[in-house]
Amino acid sequence: MWHHIKSVAEERNLSPRKLVDFALANQEKYGVFHNIGEVLVNTFHVDKLISDFVEQKDIIVSEIDNDNFKLVVMKKCNGKFDVIVDGVVRHPECDNEAVIRALAHYLNSFSYKLSKTEKAQ
């Protein structure tokens, strides 16, 4: 049995356009059939398609939210990380080591600033 990918996406509250694009990029893996505006997936591949699509989203790995700054480490779908400070991507497409260095830098910097303000009071 074949299923319209747009219908599958709507049933699961996913973006139909993004799911179709993901499926077309991986046609062989999921047995996707594309015919004049219709994109279909076989019953045997629906669950795997959905689980792989959901897993490829960016996820927040670490978040430090303070009165003085906000630091977020986000894992991208390509396996790299973005380090975001106060809403600005300061270190895009980092590997594991670069993330650790960036976190150490920002936490050390914040600790230093905090110690200076405590001494001033």
pTM score over 0.85: no
Mind listing the pLDDT tens digit for each residue in 83-95? 998 888 999 989 9
Mind listing the pLDDT tens digit for each residue in 6-41? 999 888 888 888 888 888 888 888 889 888 878 989
SS (HEC) of 56-98: CCCEEEEEEECCCCEEEEEECCCCCEEEEECCEEEEEEECHHH
CA angle 73, 75, 80 (to 5 degrees): 110
